[in-house]
Structure 1
């Protein structure tokens, strides 16, 4: 095997620069030889060998052990900084070209032996802040003995092998949420909508051509069509600007603001949106704010008039009245729901009609052919052992609720209303209890009698 020695040319230097940052493997044994000395065949294209395969004379494919070769070694000598070798400088420049200035973490991963901060500081100091900018200072000379250079190379290789990878930033979990283009058909990259105002406006001018053979009337007609088309484009831009200025594309922000408003406020705002085109954003916001304030004042006036109609003269009494009114409404709703549920659950078939072949009783015969009144069987007691709030009732109260088929939660609301009204008036009549509790009068009467017997209510009728 012969060794060829020739003078390095500019093409060789460019080739070395292009090879910087590339991973090399031994073609016969596939060993990683990126950071070690490698043997490159001068005859075969892109064929590298490690030192062991080269010494053993390994042949593979068209490669023969008598081919000319070149010894390729990493350029670990410094050229701009004692802590940076020439190979690291090449990797730094190549990383900046591939990933762009500013992506220092990717550049550091490409260099391998330097951290993100070291790459950024070295690039700014050597290349950006150079006295000979835009080129680095090429006049520097570093005299290093071979032993120090070899030790530094081993240190850099050890740093590259033991380098701790950069921590991965915790990413937020992916959520499936609608985007702007899914809600309003908006395309952020083009600042356009999928369906624009006068979306078919281009159809009238897409095939229009001006030629020297056109008559003056034809030219005037085409100019008129272009004028109409430009007017449509102007209106389209106005509407697009209106959407952008009012922030209608910020659907998350608008949705959160709408959730904070009451149904009446949302209805008022939706009915007044037609006036947004006639006002600036500031004037429209003041206009809506004034309407909402007026609506709240009207509601407050109606509330105070209701207090006065019910004989209330203080705000504290009015607030108590509103709480009682809310409780009565919720009680009525619960009772209606529970009664309907019980009726559906415990529905019983109607009593069968009497057999016509049976001999009618003398009393029935004297009454003629009229059917005898059907006696309604009382409903079975309600099983409330697993009902919510059963532990808050005494044994007699549980028996009462089971007999009257009332759930404990509804009974506690009725009890609170009756006792509160009794404490306010100093006594309570049966008629007042029935007016206060809007349920079956028979159930209200039995509850009233139970409270009187228990001593919780003083009967004002006596």
Structure 2
């Protein structure tokens, strides 16, 4: 039996650990905080992270056989498992993780392990601090720096090899990259679409061939030298200085616009518009077209952060709307929502197939015709429709739509905000003229004629507009 045993088990714990013994009847336990006796010391080389019998990962508290020098999990120990040379009457120690690992510290071993695992998993101090709710961010950083990086906790910790860059800051070497390592700017031929999209920017000269405010030089075109004998010499001199100062202000404004176009990447118009198009669903085009007016007041990164934040808000709103829709239908699990979404898409496809089938007169069962293909052949060989219904759930303005308007926007593939814009335009024209023709609606909307026809028929049916 181990010397200097520490009886730290309660009666309930002892009752849970009872199992038949062959030779011993009384067992004494030792906790992890053993004294400096060499017989009770457990070195790091003897410690293993898995049970010697079942090989599962050890979770505190577990046991350590003093005679065999092997760790045993709680399950194997409570069942009195015997394997190899290990017997269930050997002396043992209870290894816990509630003890303080380092001197001059109040961190338990459990907190130390949690911190080290979080550092390996995340590599981010904010995420590591979230795993330790009882510790602040500064406490976690200071503890890791003092006990691990500076090795104040134990000399057994690995030492980081110091290099010159650790002690001295790395010197800045200008022009480190060669010209071949950088990307060559696009150089379009004159009078091409790409050339005009770059707003007159010439990559070869790194300057604009067509200047902003091209009439600025007209201020100086009519200036002439003034004779000192002129009686109005002083007044004319001040007037010319004012003209030159006005010219300088326009030059500064020209340079400011050039800097804005360079910093924000506005030289390639198509690339900028394609970047903004990703916000059509969440922020919507009317909103971000108003926000780009403030681009000149922000740094490129800050302006992008603003748009990304609004984009994230729109995505969260979309997810919340979908969750509310699922909950209203009695769906409470993620698997059920995925199954519902899949079956809904299949139902929409079958519904379109049925409508297309019913429109064919030759497939009408009332009209018996010879050599008519079966319905199965029709569905297999038919051409699929070009576009599927638009999923408008959660889009901006979705909550303002009625049930019929939701079906119309989904079928015609109109976003709610665009639908309201087109509707208000047609209703205003109807109030102005007293009626509205379909030809006039097509001229005003300038969208697909089929979409215009369906929208026009719906507004006439609901009484928003009247036919002549």
TM-score, normalization by structure 2:
0.35
Which of the two has higher C-alpha Rg?
1
